[in-house]
Structure 1
């Protein structure tokens, strides 16, 4: 494996959780330093509320404030309002103007793009991940990965054959505290666990 390929893999693994967990951004370690000619070129598929607010803005923040060696070079959305909003923001914050695509397949066919972030409506996720892997792109996909179990098997099989990096945006499981909790349980430091309770309240209406 080339150093260039490995560095891109390392960046994807380090930045994937940060891409979606914007509120946790300040605690994310700086990405590995790269050669000037080894920039990760990222395409955004679906820069709507989640894709713009968490993916585009956080990637720009990684680039500008953390020194991540990346550029957002492509934007796809069938809704021109979202597409233009993302392009204008990237241009304002980085001085670069990404290409735009009406059809996500045209973005995937662009050899100048190394990886994609997918934040389209849920029913598109499986197909777009499969198409991205077939096109040789690394993938960060919003949850859920698929709508149906059969699709999930297809995605996992394609990922294993591809040799590419894929991460699904279940950001809570990427927070380090859960690894610490798992270690406490595995080491028996909490004693015998007989019951647990969890609550969640999202006031987003």
Structure 2
């Protein structure tokens, strides 16, 4: 077996999913087309040690992360930090009047009773708060894209390596049953050698297009505006720039930093890739002409070089905030023998003409209970659907569970800062390519511009 094939078959060991396991259960005869398998997750009961959390940034994702974290056993929220007073008041209503609240994240990091911090601030604060939290001895869950620009990546990685703490990047779909099954199928040769991939993320609603609600009491009296802009361009108070921050380059990272990064994370997990070496982008502001500085339609193309983990292939990504179909999200991976449409809860495997001597098909027939001696009579189907079981707790739950298990068992996580930066960098460079109107060269091994 070649080194490349050995590497591709290491998918389960490398996944870092302590406390969880992926199970495929055949529920339809293989000779039927299409056939189905149910993907199941087995959970291990949590240890009794209580992990104490603090939330820094109590907006939409910070709140969702906290709600999801609290679904796990043996966790507790003790503090919340935000620059808008209304969110601090809401946090006490939601999680208890004894909750410690502040608009200075340093107050959080000084506390000895906090083990883990969730960082869900606007992107321009991710790096500094993450480094300060690691230096303060805290484990970290930081929302993607982890950094605001590629020049920040190595500084954060170095701080993490020195800290001895566990750091999880919050691209939560990475921990989905769909991604794990796709990784397994690719390693087994289900679609042959990858040569192309594409991803699509579409939205149309005002909230989906970052037209977030602005509270009526938004003002310099209720928002710590000076702190918000203290590490970027100085401006007079602007509620749009605070509550709809994704629309502005000083604070956000555009469509690619918000959404392409999810697709990069999933693709890199499935293929074990370190990333592309050529990046380009085009797009435009087609509809949401509200003063935003970033496009609402973005197209990115990327070249992945041949590597030990995979052959060379090309990737195209599309994002559309003016989508009249009400939204579509998927990642399609195409190989020499077929393709996979990958969603968090489902994988649809489609194959070309099958062979009775194909090792992958023989293995699938065994699993489905078909006698191998009959393989010349009963060929496997060209299409197979793998779907999460009813009641699956979801990728977001599993992503937080990965971090919790790693902390309790001195383990590793699926999306550490090195993995997170390799997913974030091409997304951030997609913005640079768009604004600079040129191709960019990236070294995915060294993680630096060429």
Q: Is the 8 A contact 1:60 1:90 kept in 2?
A: no
| Aligned equivalents of 2:151, 2:19: Cα separation in 1 | 29
Do residues 80 (structure 1) and 94 (structure 2) align? no
Distance in 2 between residues matched to 1:174 and 1:201, nearest whole Å: 21
Describe the superposition over 1:131-183 as per-residue Cα deviations: whole angstroms up to 9, x where unpaired: 00010000000111001222111111111111111011111222132122122
Partner of residue 203, structure 2:
202
**Which residue of the partner structure matches residue 105 of structure 2?**
104
Q: Does 1:128 align with 2:167?
A: no
Q: Which residue of 2 aligns with 1:29?
A: 43
Q: Secondary structure at the match of 1:197?
A: strand
From the superposition, tell whether residues 134 and 33 of structure 1 become closer, same or farther in structure 2 (CA, over 3 Å): same
Shift of the alpha carbon at 1:31?
Answer: 5.2
Look up the match of 1:172: 173
- Secondary structure, aligned partner of 1:145: coil
1:202 Cα offset (Å): 2.4
The whole-number CA distance in structure 2 between the counterparts of 1:76 and 1:30 is 32
Give unmatched runs, 5+ long, in structure 2.
1-17, 21-40, 210-450
Deviations 1:57-93 (A, max 9, x none): 223333xxxxx111100111121101111121012xx
Please state whether the residue corresponding to 1:55 is helix, strand or coil. Answer: helix
Alignment CA distance shift 1:190-1:144 (3 Å)? same
1:56 to 66, 71, 82: 66
- Distance, in Å, in 1 between the alignment partners of 2:152 and 2:195 is 35
Give distance in 1, aligned partners of 2:68 and 2:82: 18
TM-score (norm 2): 0.36
For 1:159 and 1:31, the matched residues in 2 are separated by 28
Distance 1:106 1:198 in 2: 41
Describe the SS at the equivalent of 1:189: coil
Residue of structure 1 in register with 2:115 after alignment: 114
Greater CA drift, 136-145 or 175-184: 175-184
Mapped to 1, the partners of 2:196 and 2:66 lie a distance apart of 40
Whole-angstrom CA distance in 1 between matches of 2:87 and 2:43: 30
Q: Which has the higher helix share?
A: 1
Structure 1 contact 56–86 (Cα < 8 Å) conserved: no
| Structure 1 residue 192: Cα displacement | 3.5
Q: CA RMSD in A?
A: 2.3
Distance in 2 between residues matched to 1:102 and 1:142, nearest whole Å: 19
Three-state SS of the structure 1 residue aligned to 2:191 is coil
The alignment of Structure 1 onto Structure 2 pairs a total of residues equal to 170
Deviations 1:90-114 (A, max 9, x none): 12xxxx7211122000110111111
Say yes or no: does 1:90 pair with 2:95: yes
SS at match of 1:184: helix
Q: 1:130 Cα shift?
A: 0.2
